Amino acid sequence: MRLRLHPDGAKIFDEWRSRPSTSLEDEQLVARLLVEYSEQQGWQDRWTTYDDPDPNIMVVKARDGLFVHIVKWILDERDECSPDEFSLAQIGGRERPAA
């Protein structure tokens, strides 16, 4: 089953890639990571992951100094898990989200 990027996650990606400091190479790298994660096959072999204090967030290293914080489970308006979506918490240069 292919996962969909939640609209909130798409907004975070769009805001990040519109920054002047975001290179085309980094944009393509993160886009490829998101596609591979959404396909749920083999992405674990290519990308390094780290635990986050929040068990719902997985930190993926896109390259040295560039980390993508994936929200694994999305709750709908009834606080029920949506198993076919994922989102983003942030894209940036830190392994841990800013406090």
Which tokens is 1 given?
Answer: 């089953």
Q: How many other CB atoms sit within 10 Å of the CB of residue 62?
A: 17
Residue listed under structure tokens 């089953």 = 1
Q: How is domain 4-92 classified at the CATH fold level?
A: YaeB-like fold (3.30.2310)
Q: What is the pLDDT of residues 47-80, one digit of tens each?
A: 999 988 988 899 999 999 999 999 987 766 666 6
How big is the chain by its Cα radius of gyration, in Å?
13
**Residue spans per domain, the chain:** 4-92
Mean pLDDT of the region 29-36? 95
Residue listed under structure tokens 């997985």 = 58
* 30 or 56, which is more confident: 30
Mean pLDDT of the region 27-35? 95
pTM as predicted:
0.84
Q: Are 16 and 89 in contact (CB under 8 A)?
A: no
Q: What is the pLDDT of residues 82-99, one digit of tens each?
A: 778 899 999 987 655 444
